[in-house]
Amino acid sequence: MRLSRFTALSSSLLLGAVLALTGASAAQAAETAALDYVALGDSYSSGVGAGSYDSASGDCKRSTKAYPVLWKNANAPSSFAFTACSGARTGDVTANQLGPLSAATDLVSITIGGNDAGFADVMTTCVLQSESTCINRVNQAKSYVDTTLPGKLDSVYTAIRGKAPAARVVVLGYPRFYQLSGSCIAGLSEGERSAINGASDYLNAAVAKRAADHGFAYASVVPAFTGHEICSGSAWLHSVNWLNIGESYHPTAAGQSGGYLPSFRGAV
């Protein structure tokens, strides 16, 4: 008798637990499906370097392999707007990308600030000129990050919050580009690679600080990309590509799916 009652009680508790978990999962799925998601930003969000570009996006080069699309495909939100654009600066976001935002928007993602800080020019200088010139250009970019970029980020973040007052906003950073003492036997010096990595950390710190001050979530991609930098032997970033210069120093499709997507998913 006692054994039968114990078995019945155990079965009831197990059934209750299963139903509770199933209900929670269903509720979570329903909540995700009800999301209205807008993806903003620059080439790291549009997916430059990942290939499979939507021809309708033109020079913005929005990829079907970019993390916003991958997240959308996995979670089926009720609406999805993808306005991120290659080459975008903070002013481009406020001028051209915020149209889909509204009071109904639940989720926003963005990478921005790298183009304002002159990332492309830094890399061009470092590839083509001397180490001392490279490091001087890196220091100029860091000075810009100190003096000018915070105000530009404030303008973007304030505009996003004004148009989407209830949204969870996830600001994603940029990877470190080089594994130091790695497999590369040519190209930039270790001093140049170290300076570029330091500049990326510097930019990320500034972006994270401004995001936090606006109440936004910040998602670092550095941990996910560790072991997959240029010179790692398993790079998720394109090195300089003279045949397709625009894809240089951008994430590959693996960098979007293995680096940016899980970082974004964790912040969401």
Catalytic residue, candidates 109, 248, 250, 263: 250
Distance of alpha carbon 222 from alpha carbon 220, whole angstroms: 6
Would you call 258 exposed, middle or buried from its count of C-beta atoms within 10 A (0-12, 13-18, 19+)?
middle
Kindly tell me the burial class for residue 166, based on how many C-beta atoms sit within 10 Å of its own C-beta (0-12, 13-18, 19 or more): exposed
**Distance, CA of 64 to chain centre:** 15
DSSP states of 204-240: HHHHHHHHHHTT-EEE--HHHHTT-SBTSSS-SB---
How many whole angstroms separate alpha carbon 172 and alpha carbon 45?
9
* Architecture per CATH, 36-267: 3-Layer(aba) Sandwich (3.40)
Which mean pLDDT values do the consecutive 10-residue runs of the chain (268 residues) have?
A: 42 44 47 83 98 98 98 98 98 98 98 97 95 97 98 98 98 98 93 97 98 98 98 96 89 98 97
| Catalytic site includes residue 214 | no
- Specify which residues 63 forms β-bridges with: 53
189 is catalytic: no
At residue 27, the pLDDT reads 44
**Sequential DSSP letters for 78-130:** SEEEE---TT--HHHHHHHT-TT--TT--EEEE--STTTTTHHHHHHHHHHS-
Question: Identity (one letter) of the amino acid at 237?
Answer: L
Cα 254 from Cα 237, distance rounded (Å): 9
Dihedral sign for Cα atoms in the order 3, 4, 6, 7: positive
pLDDT of residue 243: 81
Give the pLDDT confidence score for residue 241 in this predicted structure.
Answer: 83
Res 32: pLDDT: 55
Q: How far apart are the C-alpha atoms of 222 and 209, rounded to whole Å?
A: 16
